[in-house]
């Protein structure tokens, strides 16, 4: 992973990040909500401000983005791509803006994980072929699909 971060530090390449499990911890709150919405009480937690009151940023990633994208004027090259089937897009946008300074318009959401590939293709088109986006996700099957395209 250090090789990836060194590359990003040197080039300020476009960066696309998943939210759950990358920009926020995978399980949080009393009910380990949002990833297991069928758990008793999880939906209640989600509806009571999961991203505005419960979720917390990952300090090391927060620092990296600040030093290498915010402070260098390159925050417009940072994107979020998150699976969100529960209608929490606005809370997630607030979360990444509040803790990472990522612009609202740089947040993309899909209802199914396999739709992430289509959005990544759209993001790639925003940049010339020299600037290939780096994608960071905690879902190995998505990363394998990205590698194949």
Please report the pLDDT score of residue 114 as a whole number.
86
CA-wise closest residue to 23 among 79, 85, 87: 79
Q: How far is CA 90 from CA 84, 87, 95, 129, 146, in A?
A: 10, 8, 9, 31, 26
Q: Give pLDDT, residue 63.
A: 96
> Does the structure show a pLDDT above 80 at 64?
yes
pLDDT exceeds 80 at position 108: yes
Handedness of CA 43, 49, 51, 55 (dihedral sign): negative
CB 131 within 8 A of CB 13: yes
| Whether the model pTM is above 0.75 | yes
């Amino acid at each position: 992973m250090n090789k990836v971060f060194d590359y990003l530090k040197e080039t300020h390449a476009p960066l696309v990040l998943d939210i759950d499990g990358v920009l926020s911890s995978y399980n949080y709150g009393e009910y380990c909500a949002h990833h297991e919405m069928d758990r008793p009480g999880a939906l209640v937690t989600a509806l009571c401000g999961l991203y505005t009151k419960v979720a917390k940023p990952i300090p090391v990633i927060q620092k990296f983005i600040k030093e290498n994208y915010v402070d260098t004027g390159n925050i417009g090259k940072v994107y979020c791509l998150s699976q969100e089937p529960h209608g929490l897009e606005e809370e997630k946008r607030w979360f990444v803006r509040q803790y990472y300074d990522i612009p609202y318009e740089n947040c993309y959401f899909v209802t199914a994980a396999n739709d992430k590939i289509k959005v990544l293709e759209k993001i790639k088109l925003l940049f010339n072929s020299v600037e290939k986006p780096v994608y960071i996700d905690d879902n190995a099957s998505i990363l394998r699909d990205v590698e194949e395209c």
